[in-house]
Amino acid sequence: MADDKTKRDFRDRDRVSGSEDYEVAYFARKFQLTMPEARDLIKKHGNDRETSEREAKALAKS
């Protein structure tokens, strides 16, 4: 079932949904990762946005 984009609030802004392709694609583009790299990172470190972004930055530097 697709997200209803008309019903928006900010409860999940601090999460990255690994099951939503558009969120994974945005996350991957933001840190210049491939989709599988982004999915693996989210799977490994959880869906907390702050943690995922920190780990993505570390991965991009190496």
3-state secondary structure of 38: helix
Question: Where do the domains of the chain lie?
Answer: 21-61
Instruction: Give the pLDDT confidence score for residue 47 in this predicted structure.
Output: 87
pLDDT tens digits for range 12-50: 678 888 888 998 999 999 999 999 999 999 999 988 989
Give CA–CA dist 39/60, Å, rounded: 15
pTM here is 0.74
Closest C-alpha among 21, 4, 6, 26 to residue 52: 26
